[in-house]
Amino acid sequence: MIYLDNAATSFPKAPGVADAVSRFITDIGANAGRSSYSTARKSSRIIYQTRKLLAKLLNADNSSNICFTMNTTQALNIALKGIVKPGFKVLTSPYEHNSVMRPLRQLESQMNISLDFIKIIDYDIDWQHLLFQLEQKPDLLILTAASNVNGYLLPYNKIARMAHKYDIPVILDAAQVLGSNPVDTADFDIICFPGHKGLLGPMGTGGLYVSDSISLQSLMPGGTGSRSSSEYQPDEMPDLLEGGTPNLPGLAGLQVSLQFIHDTGIDAIVARKLQLTSQLLQELANIDDIIIHSPIDPNLQAGVVSFTSLRYSISDLAWEFDKADIACRMGMHCAPAAHKQLGTYEQGGTLRLSPGYFNTTAEIDSVIKLLKDLHK
Q: Please tell me the distance from the alpha carbon of residue 120 to that of residue 142, in angstroms, as a whole number.
A: 15
Q: Which of 20, 28, 47, 269 binds other proteins (CB under 8 A)?
A: 47
Q: Which of 6, 50, 63, 341 binds other proteins (CB under 8 A)?
A: 63
- DSSP string of 125-176, one letter each residue: E-HHHHHHHHHT--SEEEEESB-TTT-BB--HHHHHHHHHHTT--EEEE-TT
- Closest CB to other proteins among 173 and 239? 239
- DSSP string of 212-257, one letter each residue: TT-----SS----SSSTT-SS---STTGGG--S---HHHHHHHHHH
Least distance (Å) between residue 248 CB and other proteins: 13
Least distance (Å) between residue 33 CB and other proteins: 3
Least distance (Å) between residue 218 CB and other proteins: 14
Least distance (Å) between residue 81 CB and other proteins: 23
- Closest CB to other proteins among 157 and 259? 259
Nearest of 28, 74, 60, 61 to residue 47 by alpha carbon: 28
- Closest CB to other proteins among 239 and 363? 239
Q: Does residue 293 touch other proteins according to CB under 8 A?
A: no
204-243 positions binding other proteins, by CB under 8 A = 224-229, 234, 236, 238-239
Q: Does residue 48 touch other proteins according to CB under 8 A?
A: yes
Least distance (Å) between residue 40 CB and other proteins: 8
- Contact status, residue 306 vs residue 350, Cβ threshold 8 Å: yes
- Contact status, residue 214 vs residue 142, Cβ threshold 8 Å: no
Q: Please tell me the distance from the alpha carbon of residue 343 to that of residue 249, in angstroms, as a whole number.
A: 42
Determine the interface stretch with other proteins among 42-50, 68-76, 139-147, 272-280 (rule: CB under 8 A): 42-50
Q: Does residue 34 touch other proteins according to CB under 8 A?
A: yes
Least distance (Å) between residue 56 CB and other proteins: 14
**Upper half-sphere CA count for residue 111 (Cβ side, 13 Å):** 19
Instruction: Tell me the pairing of strands 326-327 and 2-3.
Output: parallel
Residues binding other proteins (CB under 8 A): 32-36, 41, 44-45, 47-48, 51, 63-64, 224-229, 234, 236, 238-239
